């Protein structure tokens, strides 16, 4: 866990203070975006389409994904995390510490991409198939960010479970300019530790669970030794799951008979695995046997049903989503030539 990769301290301009930090979660979002764009451009060339369209689609997906995912998280956690604050807007806009719901991002990102493709009159199904594996690759990077941030953690497990992991009281960033702070710098309490402790730092000592910045240097050195109880490595499972689905989608792309199939299969594979992964998550209360599911499990079930309908509808469509780039360009070249001959004949 490393919520802050590098903490350069604060920059003071007049009466304003700006934190100079590189957050692990944000860094992984950028890495996932760049790798997803590279994969999408490569696939666009293989599909006979313009790779220059992919960065625009990537920017729309990134913007819509972050805004939609954050909006969904804020709506779900408004009463518990935002409503009681004196100025909730600042906390709503703070995404550096996590707090994103994937399906909220998918909805808005997909809507923006569809709108752009329709406005540009580009083959929608083909471009969806091109960028779909990139979405899973980007998700894998996002889960690495979750691991660095400590969010989306797993449920309690046995101490002897071979894959069990424990989280520290708080991450310790690499300090640079802010040498006066304790060893935790600007980090916050790890979500796992906070959820499990929910009171004293150590049973019987009567101490209050305080923010790392509030600890003295001596207390910080003692707190640095604290670890959470063992939990399932839910984030690691999520990374492996996203990469596996990405590989399967690349295979399906080679075997597909109709364009749009790759996108439809993503809407089946990911929700099914997400439903299973939610059962080992510890950050959302749920009880599968009592049919008390998480919001993501309900959404996953609905998405699978919608994707099954989409696959059935694709069988009624033509295999190709429309002419390829070379064909579209040839038509554009023919039209001006025909118009010139027509004008010459009239003259």
Q: Are residues 71 and 131 in the same domain?
A: yes
Residues 249 and 210 reside in one and the same domain: no
**Count of C-beta atoms within a 10 Å radius of residue 175:** 19
Residue 343 lies in a domain: no
CB atoms within 10 A of CB 122: 18
Per the listing, tokens 């959302």 go with 284
Q: Which domain holds residue 29?
A: 4-158+231-325
Shared-domain flag, residues 129 and 196: no
The total number of structural domains that make up the chain: 2
CB 168 within 8 A of CB 85: no
Residue for token pair 């350069």? 8
Backbone angles phi and psi of 292, in degrees to 5: -100, 95
Contact 296, 100 (CB under 8 A): no
Per the domain annotation, does 345 fall within a domain? no
Inside any domain, residue 53: yes
User: 176 with 9: CB under 8 angstroms?
Assistant: yes
- Quick check: is 25 in a domain? yes
CB atoms within 10 A of CB 6: 16
- If DSSP codes are grouped into helix, strand and coil, which group holds residue 213? helix
Strand blocks (E) in the chain: 4-13, 16-23, 174-175
Q: Is 186 helix (H, G, I), strand (E, B) or coil?
A: coil
Asked whether residue 271 is assigned to any structural domain, the reply reads yes
Chain position carrying tokens 């001959």:
341
Residues 208 and 135 in one domain: no
> 32 and 87, same structural domain?
yes
pLDDT tens for the chain, 347 residues: list them: 888 887 776 677 776 767 777 888 889 989 999 999 999 999 999 999 999 999 999 999 888 888 888 887 777 767 766 666 666 776 666 665 556 777 778 888 889 999 999 999 999 999 999 999 999 999 999 999 989 988 888 988 898 999 999 999 888 777 665 555 677 877 788 888 888 876 444 444 444 577 887 888 888 888 888 888 899 999 999 999 999 999 999 999 999 999 999 999 999 999 999 999 988 888 777 666 667 788 788 889 999 999 999 999 999 999 988 888 888 888 877 766 555 556 555 55
Query: Are the C-beta atoms of 73 and 48 separated by less than 8 Å?
Result: no
d(CA 295, CA 283): 12
């Amino acid at each position: 866990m490393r919520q802050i990769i590098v903490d350069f301290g604060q920059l003071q301009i007049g009466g304003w203070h700006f934190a100079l930090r590189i957050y692990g979660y944000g860094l992984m979002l950028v890495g996932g975006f760049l790798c997803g764009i590279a994969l999408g451009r490569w696939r666009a060339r293989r599909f006979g389409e313009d790779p220059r369209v992919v960065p625009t689609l990537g920017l729309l997906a990134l913007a819509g994904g972050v805004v939609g995912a954050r909006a969904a998280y804020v709506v779900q956690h408004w009463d518990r995390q935002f409503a009681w604050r004196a100025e909730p807007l600042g906390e709503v806009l703070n995404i550096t510490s996590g707090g994103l719901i994937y399906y909220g991002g998918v909805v808005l990102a997909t809507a923006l991409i569809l709108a752009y493709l329709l406005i540009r009159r580009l083959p929608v199904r083909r471009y969806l198939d091109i960028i779909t594996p990139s979405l899973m690759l980007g998700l894998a990077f996002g889960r690495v960010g979750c691991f660095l941030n400590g969010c989306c953690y797993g449920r309690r497990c046995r101490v002897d479970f071979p894959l069990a992991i424990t989280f520290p009281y708080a991450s310790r960033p690499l300090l640079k300019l802010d040498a006066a702070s304790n060893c935790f710098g600007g980090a916050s309490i790890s979500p796992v530790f906070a959820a499990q402790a929910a009171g004293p730092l150590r049973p019987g000592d009567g101490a209050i669970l305080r923010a790392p910045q509030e600890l003295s240097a001596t207390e910080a050195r003692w707190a640095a030794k604290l670890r959470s109880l063992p939990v399932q490595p839910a984030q690691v499972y999520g990374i492996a799951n996203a990469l596996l689905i990405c590989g399967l989608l690349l295979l399906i792309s080679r075997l597909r008979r109709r364009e749009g199939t790759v996108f439809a299969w993503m809407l089946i594979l990911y929700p099914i695995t997400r439903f299973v992964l939610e059962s080992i998550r510890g950050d959302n209360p749920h009880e599968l046997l009592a049919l008390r599911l998480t919001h993501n499990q309900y959404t996953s079930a609905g998405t699978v049903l919608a994707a099954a309908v989409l696959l059935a509808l694709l069988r009624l469509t033509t295999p190709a989503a429309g002419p390829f780039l070379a064909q579209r360009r040839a038509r554009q070249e023919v039209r001006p030539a025909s118009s010139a001959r027509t004008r010459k004949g009239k003259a």
